[in-house]
Structure 1
Amino acid sequence: HAPWALLEYGFRVVIAPSFADIFYNNCFKNGLLPIVLPESVVDGLFVGVSAHPGYALAVDLRAQTVCTPEGASFSFEVEPFRKHCMLEGLDDIGLTLQHAEAIRSYEEARRISAPWIFSPLQS
């Protein structure tokens, strides 16, 4: 539920030194990008946010960088598959639907090779 709440509040990215596994995975499933940066970097970003109202970071998922208004740039890691899904706006359902034709073909072939699976139950 936490990633949903952050998304509803308008966040698209969360930056921290670490994340719990469940939260980290749920972020990706909900389209929220969790970025892991060293604690010293995160502390510095908090200083900037606290000192300057409206302080905004620029996050470039393609380049995997976070940039400050002062021009500092920090690289972050993201798994290629998760990066692809985030860039394409794909969730689990979207990924499945990309293979809809192959699924349909499989089901048609299965209906022929194992028709008893698809026949209605007899009382």
Structure 2
Amino acid sequence: MAFLFNASLSIDRKPYAGQPVPTYCGLPWLRDACHNWRMLDLGDVDRLADKVATATLKGVKLSRVYSTATTDSDGRDALNVTIVVDSKYKNTMTGDTALNAIVRIQRDLRASGEERFAIVDFTTEDELTSNGDT
């Protein structure tokens, strides 16, 4: 009995700046191998995270959003996404809205083909300057 195997990619839409969205090849046991994973440019990550955070954290003024390359606890490549909230608005953000922003940022990065896990931090400008980060 012959068994034919086709694990080709199918790309069906382009949601962010022309980035193709990977879709499953139809073989559930080969799920991750069928994705076209890549690392996005940090500028693209910043724009996507800013867009999602602004949409999710309504009523909270964001000063800026930036990302850096890092590693996770297992030593794999990861992203550190920092969302800087205006100091006047830090008490208006709830845990639920912060969690929604984190989940949406991670989901949208994955949908854009980003293979690195996003570690999302919230801070204020005051906290950054007191730690020496700017």
Normalised by the size of structure 2, how large is the TM-score? 0.23
The structure with the largest strand share of the pair is 2
